[in-house]
Amino acid sequence: MADERERSRRVESAMHDPRIVDRDEELVDRSGLADEEVDQVVRVMQALRGWHAAAERMSEASRRYMQLNQTDMRAIRFLIAARNQGLVVTPGALAEHLGISSASTTKLLDRLERGGHVTRSPHPSDRRALAIAVTEHTRHDARETVGRQHARRFAAAAALAPEEREVVIRFLDALAATGQD
């Protein structure tokens, strides 16, 4: 069993090591980097993979606990953020935020309303529109799951020195930009 774990760890480590997956430097330029530096970059990539896996597990646990899918959770978070700012959310604003059609928004709201997660009421200033709000019960559940997770992530970032946070911000922004064409 210990041999299997060690073998699995070695293979997982190799998945991020360009010296193994790109020996001929066809994709990853390692020129100018000492082996110790490549080792460190590989550890960064492994840490990112670990963070991603942890975030997925936390997100899945929250969705399971609240019995919601990913889009539902995004809608709930948006509604809570709007409520905390004193903003009224319309179905159109929610559709725009989620990037879904009005028909999909109607289905989503029907599902969330049936589940006791949202209410629909007349808009306070536009009699043609509806106002969508999260229920107190769902707000409380989200606070206890997603909110507590966010608080722990915030604490981890707050524990960094200001200049360390700037390095992390630059790195994550650069990483996000790699996904843009």
Spans of all domains in the chain = 71-137
Q: pTM, whole model, 2 decimals?
A: 0.69
What is the identity of the amino acid at 14?
A
- Each residue's pLDDT, cut to its tens digit, for the chain (181 residues) gives 778 877 777 667 677 777 777 778 778 888 888 889 888 888 888 888 888 888 788 777 766 666 788 899 899 999 999 999 999 999 999 999 999 999 999 999 999 999 999 999 999 998 898 999 999 999 998 888 888 888 898 899 899 999 999 999 999 999 888 876 5
CA distance 54 to 62: 12
For residue 118 the two structure tokens come to 């949202």
The domain defined by 71-137 folds into Arc Repressor Mutant, subunit A (1.10.10)
CA distance 181 to 176: 11
